[in-house]
Copies of this chain bind each other. A is one copy, B any other.
């Protein structure tokens, strides 16, 4: 479970992480001076981070493979969120074909202490999470699109991400044949 995996991992102070991430976003805002471009960059960085975190996830979580995309979604919400962010999320709004869902993180620690300045209107501060999910799943041969639907930093009541399965690459997935 998420709790067990969380207990097993090496951890650092949450604020150290939050302030470091804040410094990264500020730096990008200053350098790129274009909010849309910053959003893209943040997502790309998240993608790279996700492709590396997946190994840690597989090593420590005890999760060995998901039988369906629904199970993948639940695993992200209940195990991965707890493991990496220290909070548990949940899914909702599954499409009829079970290929799209919302990941909800009511208490997104990433957004603590953050205020988006006026000149950065439109900044998707949590876009790194979209990238991490996309990168981690792509490493598992699941091609997905992820986007921010709701964001407390934009005065929504929660943080919600839409995750949409686009394609399942053949090799390795479900890992039974090799």
Binding site for B on A (CB under 8 A): 9-17, 19-21, 23-24, 27-28, 31, 41, 45, 48-49, 52-53, 56, 83-86, 109, 113, 128
Contacts and interface: CB of A to CB of B under 8 A. Distances in A.
Given A28-B27, A56-B15, A109 B20 contact: no
Contact of A9 (B14, B48, B52, B128): B14
Return the 9 tightest CB-CB contacts between A and B, nearest first.
A11-B11, A10-B14, A24-B24, A17-B17, A19-B49, A23-B45, A13-B84, A31-B31, A12-B17
Contacts of A14: 9-12
A53 to B, nearest CB: 6
11 contacts: A10-B15, A10-B86, A10-B109, A12-B12, A13-B56, A13-B84, A16-B49, A19-B52, A23-B45, A23-B49, A27-B45
Nearest to A9: B13
Contacts of A56: 13, 15
A86 B12 CA distance: 6
Please state the number of chain copies in the assembly. 2
A13 B61 CA distance: 13
Given A23-B45, A23-B49, A85 B12 contact: yes
Contacts of A52: 15, 19, 113
Q: Find the residue from A9, A12, A19 having the highest chain B CB count within 10 A.
A: A12
Contacts of A86: 10-12
Contact of A21 (B20, B27, B84): B20
Given A20-B20, A21-B20, A23-B48, A15 B53 contact: yes
